[in-house]
Amino acid sequence: MSDHTIRFRLNGEEREVRVPATARLIDLVRDICGLTGTKEGCSVGVCGACSVLVDGELLSGCLVPALFVDGASVTTVEGIATGTLTPLQEAFITEGGFQCGICTPGQIVAATALLCAHPRPTDDLISEWMMGNLCRCTGYHGIVRAIKKAARA
């Protein structure tokens, strides 16, 4: 009764899926589509661990209704690398952009969206854009270094 069929692209692949009306985007990608890279950190849209791209736009998987992506193109962290790691992902490795890794999928997705919209971001823009992705381990410098390195690549 309250299930809907939605059709969308997930990391480049056409999908058709039944979802409950109450499902969030994070429920769709993790529980229904089995892509567990996207993490649920705070459940209230603050921490950024659930960052997902919908039609290239950075959104919170925990706040967006699954029904909203009907007809859209969704990119999760699993869809960032196409065959090989991107310069950003390589930079996260060389610059120490992660420790425990729980925030990293969100950081990668958010930073990918940043570099897509602003290929040569200023330091201020990096801070403003990325401030919604919280990290408890690194102190953020490694993340920012990684983004700057990728921007120069």
User: Which residues of this protein are in contact with other proteins, per CB under 8 A?
Assistant: 1-2, 4, 20-22, 24, 43-46, 48, 51, 57-60, 62-65, 67-68, 110, 128-129, 131-132
DSSP three-state, residue 51: strand
Query: Of the two residues 1 and 83, which places its CB atom closer to other proteins in the complex?
Result: 1
Q: How far is CA 7 from CA 66, 69, 72, 73, 114, in A?
A: 11, 8, 8, 10, 27
Minimal distance in Å, beta carbon 96 to other proteins? 24
Minimal distance in Å, beta carbon 72 to other proteins? 11
Minimal distance in Å, beta carbon 111 to other proteins? 12
Query: Of the two residues 68 and 140, which places its CB atom closer to other proteins in the complex?
Result: 68
Strand order in the sheet with 3-10: 13-20, 3-10, 73-75, 51-54, 57-60
Angle made by CA atoms 4, 7, 13, in degrees to the nearest 5: 140
Minimal distance in Å, beta carbon 66 to other proteins? 10
Query: Of the two residues 62 and 143, which places its CB atom closer to other proteins in the complex?
Result: 62
DSSP three-state, residue 99: coil
